[in-house]
Amino acid sequence: MQNLTNYIDEFPDGHPVKVYVEENNLIKELFEELFKTDIRVDFQKFYNIFNQISEVEKHFARKENQLFPYLEKYGWTNPSSGMWAFHDQIRDEIKIARKSIENRDLDNALNDAMIIYNSLSQLILVEEQRLLPNAMNLLNEDDWKEMYEGDKEIGWMLSKTPIRYPEPEQEDYIHPSLDKKKRDLPFSLEDRTHYDEGYLTPEQVNFIFKFLPVDITYVDENDRVVFYNRGDDRVFPRSAGIIGREVKFCHPPKSVDQVLKILEEFKAGRQDTAEFWIQFKGKFIHIRYFAVRDEEKVYKGVIEMSQDVTDIRKLEGDKRLLDWE
């Protein structure tokens, strides 16, 4: 199969395939510069280049969360397991190399960098000779056009943000919150609402709020409580009588002044968050307030979120395996 690099210049600027190859070329250039740098003479330059190479995480994340789902839609699932596992191997190699560099273990740092180079070289070969050519055969033009917003959320390795594909003058820009794209999804959209991304039925929305391990209360721009979630283990009790109530009457007198101060600062745009933590019935409770604003930065209310973080505060180290037995 012909290598993509031989004809990638024929692709329009911003096309996801072209961007992947441009990032691969950047990786090669960075390694060339890295291996020309004497780590004992210019340690900081070596470390800076290594950090640029580590941005390959964005390259991986876009493939895993953007490209692979489209391939799955057309029945090609191998990359979602095999190549993802290879990504994780390289992630581990990068962690090992970073530890060597930060510990000034220079001999091991050079050896670790070479291991990453060999792994990424192999990955690039597979991408450009198999993954991306197959993706071009499977995906249609609308698929490639849909990718930009999701790619933008994750980011790119490149120093300059790629232009939108296709460029805005080629196609009317559709705001991402307005889902006007043709979707081929494995579930019906009947009775579902489109959110910033994704579709949920009212029942699913209720499930999400019920099983979230946090207490959420939403107060609108008129200072009225319009929603709270009914989890089984709420930190602070709520009842249906609170809906429609002015928020200042939902707090004990000793804390009303703070609540009013938060609302005042949020409405004025001077603050966006406020947080507190308290000891409550033998638990450590984290309480946060978030200003809600629309895209024009107009104040639309406040979310109060409370969470029992007693056990979370005790966590140390890593836990990577299940311990259900």
Alpha-carbon span 149 to 136, nearest angstrom: 19
Q: Omega before 252 cis (within 30°)?
A: no
Average pLDDT of the chain, as a whole number: 89
| Residue 166, preceding peptide bond in cis (omega within 30° of 0) | yes
| 178 against 21, higher pLDDT | 21
- Tokens for 264, please give them: 């005042």
Positive or negative CA dihedral for 261, 263, 268, 269? positive
Q: Bin 301: left if φ > 0, else alpha if -120 < ψ < 50, else beta.
A: left
More confident position, 209 or 176:
209
Which helix (H) or strand (E) segment is 60 a member of?
Answer: helix 56-62
DSSP letter assigned to residue 14: T
Is pLDDT at 213 greater than 60 in this prediction? yes
pTM for this entry:
0.66
Average pLDDT over every residue of 123-135 = 95
Question: Residue range 200-208: average pLDDT?
Answer: 91
When pLDDT is cut at 50, 70 and 90, the band that residue 168 belongs to is low
Instruction: Give the model confidence (pLDDT) of 103-112 as tens digits.
Output: 999 999 999 9
Would the pLDDT of 139 be above 60? yes
Residue 109's CB: how many other CB atoms inside 10 A?
A: 23
- Interatomic CA distance for residues 227 and 245, integer angstroms: 11
Compute the distance between CA of residue 228 and CA of residue 110 in angstroms, rounded to an integer: 55
Summarize pLDDT for 304-319 with one digit per residue, the tens: 999 999 999 999 998 8
Which stretch of 66-80, 169-183, 275-289 has the lowest confidence by average pLDDT? 169-183
Distance, in Å, from the CA atom of 154 to the CA atom of 60, rounded to the nearest integer, reads 10
Please check the confidence at residue 172 and state whether its pLDDT lies above 60.
no
**Contact between residue 216 and residue 208 where contact means Cβ atoms under 8 Å apart:** no
Q: What is the pLDDT of residue 49?
A: 97
Q: How far is the C-alpha of 157 from the C-alpha of 20, rounded, in Å?
A: 9
Q: How many helices (H) and strands (E) does the chain have?
A: 11, 7
With H, G, I as helix, E, B as strand and everything else as coil, classify residue 186.
coil
* pLDDT above 70 (res 68): yes
Percent of the chain with pLDDT over 70: 92
Which pLDDT belongs to residue 173?
47
Question: CA of 102: how far to CAs of 3, 211, 248, 316, in Å?
Answer: 37, 41, 51, 21
Q: Is the pLDDT at 170 greater than 70, yes or no?
A: no
